[in-house]
Structure 1
Amino acid sequence: MRIIIAEDPNWSLDLVPSLSSLCQRCIADTIEDHQHLFEKLTPQLKDSIQPRLSLSLPLHVTANLVPDGVFWKRCCQQRWNICDISHYGHSWKRMFFERHLENLIELFVPEETEFKVILDVLPLCKNYIKRLNITQLLLPSRKFVKGRDDDQHEVVMLTNEEEDDMAASHFDFGIVLTELIHLEEFHLAYKIKQCGMNFEWSMFQITDRDCRALTTAFKACKTLKVLRIRQSQIDDKKCRPLLRCLMDHPSLIELDLSHNIIRDAGARSVAELLSKGQLEKLNICNNEIDIHGAKALAQALSNNSTLQYLNMRLNQVKDEGGEAIAEALQNNTTLRYLHLGGNDMTSITAVVLSKVLQKNETLKTLNLSCNNLGEIGGKALAEAMVHNSTLTECDIRQTDIDETNSASINKAIWDNQCADWDKEVQQRRKSTIYL
């Protein structure tokens, strides 16, 4: 027997890679030049090669070539510390492209960054993006001129023309929303993060020019289901054109305009959309909607047959508006969630609402917190809950309702919850027996 003694004492035949492994390594190293070889592989072989692929490969090579899997997981974990795949339909590839495009847009500086940066990536990512969450929009870099303040000290300031240009120049979403053929959710906030000592109110508001650009973009985006524009200083003037273009939108079911400055005229526009559209969720909390706006929304709600969720927290609807909304629930048969917290309502609204709760069979969650309902309002609600069997959540914190009536309301809510649980258990048992 002849024996070969290796120079490395730790060497053995077990360390010799298989031919299959060598081939996979070769394909991984030369994938940029031999994409056709990778395309011909079986799904199992593609999965086994993904851990070997270099993360520095250009996107135009990997975007449509490498399927969802370990490679895209590695790309995400390399770029971002927090990677919760559950928010992206459990798809690493979707997470990468959505966050990649979001980062490009949020760091885009108008008049400086070349729009080609966005145009180059859109064809690569358009098939994988279903949601965009834009948390900041930058303005053009400031151009200063020297001047003097009231004390004749030399300072640096903006010219009026440049200030107007800055206020009118945000990223234009027209081309982006047109190209994203699978976009279903669009979250947007006109603000700047970490502006520091350079803070200006113009950094935190949507402009008339932005509204015109968005109306054109929304008309082209037929797949949009959820639209959220929050913390952007949307007023009545800007609200109307934005909502007008959504009147006949084929797929929009959720609208969120919370934390803006919408007043009664804007609320009437929202009510018009509610009457003509197919909204299922509407969030207009923390605006400046008064009595007349609330009445317009109540009239639309009375004739609506699609809305299931309405959040009007932190407005100023007062008792007249609260009564109108309560009376609308007598005709509405679809609303399941209603939030009227912090609206300067008193026992007058609570009494009207209690009459509705005795007959309403669809409302599941009611929030009346931070209103001055008092003992009279608490008593009316407690008496109404004796006859209500559907309400399973009722928030009456900080409403000055006394402990006795509060305990009665909470007990009725608990009974309704138990009844719901019993029904659910029975349904599960029936389905189990059927299977």
Structure 2
Amino acid sequence: MRIPITINKNTLKTYNDYDTNKKIINTLQSNNLEEWDKEIPKNLQEICLETIAKNWEAKPLLDEIPLTIDQCLLLDILPTELPLGLTIPKINDDIYWKRCYLQRWPKLIPENVSLDIQISEIVKVNNGSRKSSTTNSASSQRSRKSSQEQQKSNKRTWKECFLEMHLREYLEKLKPEDYDAEKIKELSDLCGIYVKILELRELQSSENSPSRIPLNAIVTGLENLTELSICFKQTYVGEKFSWNILKITLQDIKLLAKGLEKIHLKIFRLRNSDIDDEKMIRILKSLLKHDELHTLDFSHCKISDEGGVALSKFCLLNSVNTLVLANNQIGTKGMEALSYVICQSACRLSTLDLKLNPIGNEGANHLMKPLTIGVRNIKNLYLSGCGIRHLPSLGEMIEHNSSLEQLNLSNNSLGEEMGKILLQGLRYNTSLTKLDVRMCKLLSMDEFEILRRINNNKLAKRCPRTMKKPIIIEPQYNFYISEELLNEIESAFEKIDENEEAVDEVEQT
């Protein structure tokens, strides 16, 4: 066979398209695998499902469809803008609610929820129909995940996450002038069963007053609510600035307290708001019957010593184990009351966050006493930025305490001598696994040695065989409290009752 060594010019022009070649120079082309079935004609099954999806608002059919595979394919193509009054009672499958959530809030991925679809995926079906558009798995069967399995795994459903975000967005944008009691009741009836966590990052204020929307009707309608987080301030103001956006009326707090009395929470947070002692005491009184409440957060508020006394009384009557009071105005008197409560057997506090409170050396000294004399409940203690200086009782507490695991002392001017005292206390301590002494004006060598000893405690806990037994040393003092402060703790909630009775008498006259 003779191989030609030249090519005819006309043949070259025919097979060489210069315009096309110029466009594809230095470009990569790949096959679009998403449109592999574009030219395949739809079968009767898919045409019927598309027709049902288009007319679903007029005639909602789901459970009436006999085959599970047809139901799942219908959920893949159903519009996500359907009215909630139709979809909430009719659709429980997470495959639909995940589409609704990610289409509306694509950047806000919820926590403790399975990112994969809650239904087993399909790759092929025996009748040869095409696979679902959301299929990523290699499984050949599709079965609905039962609600019992979801409860065992402690995973939140996409339906719950969607309805929680929907209610949160509606309430955050709702102005008091536009409040409609009937619409709120209708929304609570639809979403109330599914909403377990409600986080309100802001609440709109009225144009002429600092009043917010009444929260009692909203909270009361959420019968399964276990976690509530509220911030009364308004985030985005624009050109219509007013001091009312930073204030909270006492009437708003009364309405919130009335709603809290009718539910049972596990976590309650009221942060970054205009909450003083009187307002906080009203809220605490409404939370007394919440037997399962384990986390209480009043950070970035205006709570002072009187509020600290009321909180100490609340901790005696309730089983709270996490108390967050960061960035408040609690001083020596409040710390003395809290220190007394920590000593009591009825107190279940394990985490106490007091950072950015002006407790000073005297208040910190009150707190060191119960931790030194054998209180074993407190595991985590945060005292960052509390104005603590040279405090020898701190080293003695570390030496005697055998239960404290985390201690934050950062941003306190402890001084160089305190570094030696802390090291002396760490000689016998085997429980501390985290001790933060940054920005405390310690010597760098002492800070390094403290870190080394803390790391040794961590390694010892990982290997219990090598862990040393704590050396228990009897403390040299006991904890006492004045009778006057003890009476204040006992009557912390009675002042509110007296004020309410006085107001009622004035209104009657």
TM-score with structure 1 setting the length? 0.84
State whether residues 319 and 346 of structure 1, in contact with CA within 8 Å, keep that contact through their aligned partners in structure 2: yes
Structure 1 residue 394 displacement after superposition: 0.4
* Candidates 350, 375, 379, aligned match of 1:308: 350
Matches within 5 A, 1:171-320: 171-222=213-264, 224-303=265-344, 304-320=346-362
Q: Is 338-347 or 242-251 further displaced after alignment?
A: 242-251
Structure 1 residue 198 displacement after superposition: 2.5
Distance 1:210 1:35 in 2: 41
Output the amino acid matched with 1:83. L
State whether residues 25 and 49 of structure 1, in contact with CA within 8 Å, keep that contact through their aligned partners in structure 2: yes
Confirm or deny that 1:335 pairs with 2:360.
Answer: no
Matches within 5 A, 1:24-423: 24-35=49-60, 37-39=62-64, 41=66, 44-87=69-112, 89-142=155-208, 166-167=209-210, 169-222=211-264, 224-303=265-344, 304-329=346-371, 330-348=373-391, 351-423=392-464
State whether residues 65 and 71 of structure 2, in contact with CA within 8 Å, keep that contact through their aligned partners in structure 1: no
CA spacing shift, 1:310–1:42, aligned 2, 3 Å: farther
Structure 1 residue 410 displacement after superposition: 1.0
State whether residues 50 and 69 of structure 1, in contact with CA within 8 Å, keep that contact through their aligned partners in structure 2: no
Q: Deviations over 1:215-268 (max 9, x none)?
A: 11111012x111111111111121211112222322211010000111000111
Distance 1:255 1:243 in 2: 10
Q: Deviations over 1:143-199 (max 9, x none)?
A: xxxxxxxxxxxxxxxxxxxxxxx12x2111112211111111111001112213322
Q: Deviations over 1:121-158 (max 9, x none)?
A: 2111112111111111112234xxxxxxxxxxxxxxxx
CA spacing shift, 1:414–1:212, aligned 2, 3 Å: same
Question: Which residue in 1 is equivalent to 2:506?
Answer: none
TM-score with structure 2 setting the length? 0.72
Give the aligned length. Answer: 388
Structure 1 residue 119 displacement after superposition: 2.1
Distance 2:466 2:184 in 1: 52
Structure 1 residue 323 displacement after superposition: 1.1
Structure 1 residue 76 displacement after superposition: 1.6
Q: Is 39-48 or 132-141 further displaced after alignment?
A: 39-48
Q: Is 106-115 or 28-37 further displaced after alignment?
A: 28-37
Structure 1 residue 278 displacement after superposition: 0.5
Q: Deviations over 1:357-414 (max 9, x none)?
A: 2232221110011112112221111111111111010010111122232222111101
State whether residues 308 and 337 of structure 1, in contact with CA within 8 Å, keep that contact through their aligned partners in structure 2: yes
Where structure 1 has 5 or more consecutive residues not aligned to the other structure, the ranges are: 1-11, 143-165, 427-435
Distance 1:37 1:388 in 2: 63
Output the amino acid matched with 1:233. D
SS of the aligned residue for 1:86 comes to coil
Q: Is 32-41 or 278-287 further displaced after alignment?
A: 32-41
Where structure 2 has 5 or more consecutive residues not aligned to the other structure, the ranges are: 1-36, 114-154, 468-509
Distance 1:298 1:69 in 2: 48
Structure 1 residue 90 displacement after superposition: 4.8
Structure 1 residue 291 displacement after superposition: 0.4
State whether residues 382 and 406 of structure 1, in contact with CA within 8 Å, keep that contact through their aligned partners in structure 2: no
Structure 1 residue 423 displacement after superposition: 4.3
SS of the aligned residue for 2:417 comes to helix
Question: Which residue in 1 is equivalent to 2:148?
Answer: none
Distance 1:295 1:54 in 2: 60
Output the amino acid matched with 1:229. L
Percent of matched pairs sharing the same residue:
28
State whether residues 305 and 331 of structure 2, in contact with CA within 8 Å, keep that contact through their aligned partners in structure 1: yes
Distance 1:44 1:182 in 2: 32
Distance 2:156 2:398 in 1: 41
